[in-house]
Amino acid sequence: MDVAKETTVEPPEVPTNGTSSAGSEDAKGTIITNATMEEAAPSPTSQTTSPNSKKRALPEPSTAQGPESKKIKESPPPSSPKLDEDPTVQTFPSPPDYPATKLDKETWQGFCDIESEPAYFSVILREAGVQGVTVREVFAMTPDLLEMLPQPIYGLILLFRYREFGKEDQATNCPANVWFANQLPGQNSCGTLAMINILMNTEDVEVGEHLQQFKDFTKDLTPYQRGEAFASFDYIKKIHNSFAKKMDLLENDKYLSYKVKRSKYLKEQAAAPKTKIKTNPRSRSRRQSADSTATDDSAEGYEDNAYHFIAFVPVGNEVWKLDGMDAQPTSMGSFSPEAGETWLSGASDTIATLMAAGDDDYGVVALTQSPLVPLRREACLTINTITHIETRLDTLNPTWRSFVPDDEEPTSPRMLGLESDLPHHPVPPSTQARTDEESMPDLIERRSRMIKELSKVAASIMQEMETKAQEDHKATQRRYDSGPAIKKWLEMLAENGYLEANLDRFMPVKGGKGGA
């Protein structure tokens, strides 16, 4: 950031949130001026073992010269930027030593980085209102392992170190039946955008009120216009940025500031008059290459500092690669369900080829139907069938319960949270007709068998509910910002001299071996 150097210009006015530049009279509780440092410093005769205390005890030559206001103007702190010169400076309402508040996250205009963790993605989808979809990790792109995932698989997301591939195969224009949105520069939204690109092309998923309205609103827009709409979609942005820590926000702002300054520099270089200067041709060639091709938006720049998410999704009988960094979607081939082909075979081959051509630093996750959907449906149908059998037994013999063990009772639908779902899964007419024709012994035997089946289904439901609870807990832990606590802890260790006394133990030594 730029530093104010004029001695006759007053420092920027201090906002009420306490994040202003140093030297202001309203910031005495936050910034230590020269006068306050003199008051807080120990006397020259006092002894201290803390490195920080020694630093503060150093004499300040400016404290005895001139009035206090003049001293502030002559020695502005290096951390005081000119806010009007750098539009990317972010001022947070919360104090610097506190975690990012909900207001900080909701008013921040970017997208934070999120790890490729299926639990985080599952929580984002649930909180966005998507029903019956979960995210699972794919350990290998083989048919056997893919079949072990919950079915159906709505789409695959590949995380890899960014590099361009298949750019020449992009469609000229986005087909009408494919929903695709671009990722805008400076936005770390590729993970969430990849999920949105998949969900917007899936017909059999209830995406919730907000996402359905977003889909209807953007159906006639171009990919770039959809990307703009997504970048300003506050509903999703708030859920995404709920995982942000204050350091994430600051790092993203710093990177965006660098991109802005570099873009300005390149424009100035291009507009500057060219002068003939005798230079080393080899050095000149290198300089031009670094300034013209290795920009932050190029493949070379992303290869050094960025990972990227891209989506693979079936639309009709074609497999599409939806990469937000591409201008248009890319068709990866077609498949024929009538011939027993699935879209996963073509997508798997493409992903495997991409992995083999690069490094080993990649990951794949799948958007699948939640296992709870078929399990709850099966449990509801089984419970309704058992109830119908019991009604038929009451008609045949009201004392039929004396012929069954006392502990043979079906699992309660309330325990499984199925009470509201039962009316949506009635007993099929064929099953009702079969029940009405069976004798009492056959009905009692079938009831006993179905109770055992229900117990197994209930156990699977409880296991999936526990998995869901673990995902929520993992997301809660990820959202907790421990940075300020760690900073305070290190400050305390520095104050009591522990860091200085033990620093050598953790410093690398010659030969590549660490300390003791």
195-207 confidence digits (pLDDT tens): 999 999 998 899 9
Q: Look up 380 and say whether it is catalytic.
A: no
pTM of the complete model: 0.71
Claim to verify: residue 313 and residue 420 sit in the same structural domain: no
pLDDT in tens, 259-308: 888 888 888 888 887 665 554 544 433 333 333 334 444 434 434 557 88
Q: Both 54 and 150 in a single domain?
A: no
Q: Which one is catalytic: 112, 240, 308, 388?
A: 308
Choice between 362 and 65, residue whose per-residue pLDDT is larger: 362
Establish if 504 belongs to a structural domain.
no
Q: What is the mean pLDDT of residues 76-92?
A: 46
**Does some domain include residue 236?**
yes
Q: Rounded to an integer, what distance in angstroms lies between the CA atom of residue 110 and that of residue 379?
A: 43
- In a domain, residue 111? The reply is yes
Single residue among 81, 98, 123 that ends a domain in this structure: 81
Question: Which pLDDT belongs to residue 274?
Answer: 67
Residues 396 and 360 in one domain: no
Question: Residue 493: pLDDT above 50?
Answer: yes
**Domain membership flag for residue 1:** yes
409-448 tens-digit pLDDT = 888 899 899 999 999 999 999 999 999 899 999 999 999 9
Q: Are residues 222 and 119 in the same domain?
A: yes
Q: What is residue 311's DSSP assignment? A: E
Q: What is the pLDDT of residues 233-253, one digit of tens each?
A: 999 999 999 998 888 888 888
Instruction: Give long-range contacts, CB 8 A cutoff, 24+ apart: 352-360.
Output: 352/141, 354/158, 354/160, 354/165, 355/141, 355/160, 357/165, 358/160, 358/161, 358/163, 359/161
Which position among 112, 174, 190, 380 bears the catalytic label?
Answer: 190
C-beta of residue 155 within 8 angstroms of C-beta of residue 313: yes
pLDDT for the residue 39:
42
Annotated catalytic residue 190: yes
Model pLDDT, residue 44: 40
Q: Which pLDDT belongs to residue 91? A: 56
pLDDT at 22 over 50: no
Same domain, 341 and 394: no
Domain hosting 33: range is 1-81
Domain end (from 312, 339, 370): 370
Per cent of the chain over pLDDT 90 is 40
Structure confidence by residue, pLDDT tens digits, 146-165: 989 999 999 999 988 887 77
Cβ-count burial 300-309 (b if 16+ within 10 Å, e if not): ebbeeeebbb
pLDDT of res. 101: 83
305 and 163, same domain (yes or no): yes
Determine how many CB atoms are found less than 10 A away from the CB of residue 285.
11
The answer to the question of residue 336 being in a domain is: yes
Domain's final residue, options 476, 493, 509: 476
Overall average pLDDT of the 33-53 stretch = 41
Task: Verify that 358 and 228 share a domain, yes or no.
Answer: yes
Number of domains in the chain: 3
Chain segment 321-333, per-residue pLDDT in tens:
999 999 999 998 8
Confidence bin at 453 (pLDDT 50/70/90): very high
Q: How far apart are CA 473 and CA 243, in angstroms?
A: 13
Answer yes or no: is 261 within a domain: no
* Confidence band for 93, pLDDT divided at 50, 70 and 90: low
Q: Are residues 122 and 220 in the same domain?
A: yes
Please say if the pLDDT value at position 37 is more than 70.
no
Is the dihedral angle over the CA atoms 375, 378, 380, 383 positive or is it negative? Answer: negative
What mean pLDDT value characterizes the chain? 78
pLDDT of 113 > 50? The answer is yes
CB contact set of 105 (below 8 Å; sequence gap of 6+): 238, 241, 242, 244, 249
pLDDT of the residue at 428: 93
| 442 shares a domain with 388 | yes
Within 335-482, where are the H helices? 343-357, 372-396, 413-416, 429-437, 440-479
Residue 230 has pLDDT above 90, yes or no: yes
**Could you tell me if residue 218 is inside a domain?**
yes
Domain match, 14 and 75 both: yes
Give the model's pLDDT for residue 50: 42
Half-sphere exposure of 152 (CA within 13 A, CB side): 11
In this structure, the answer to whether residues 143 and 44 fall within a common structural domain is no
Check residues 126 and 339 and name the one with the higher pLDDT.
126
Q: What is the predicted pLDDT for the residue at 81?
A: 41
Same domain, 224 and 348: yes
Lowest mean pLDDT among 210-214, 312-316, 404-408, 491-495: 404-408
CATH number of the domain to which 142 belongs:
3.40.532.10
Q: How far apart are CA 358 and CA 163, in angstroms?
A: 9
* 350 falls within a domain: yes
pLDDT of residue 257: 83
| Residue 29 banded pLDDT, cuts 50, 70, 90 | very low
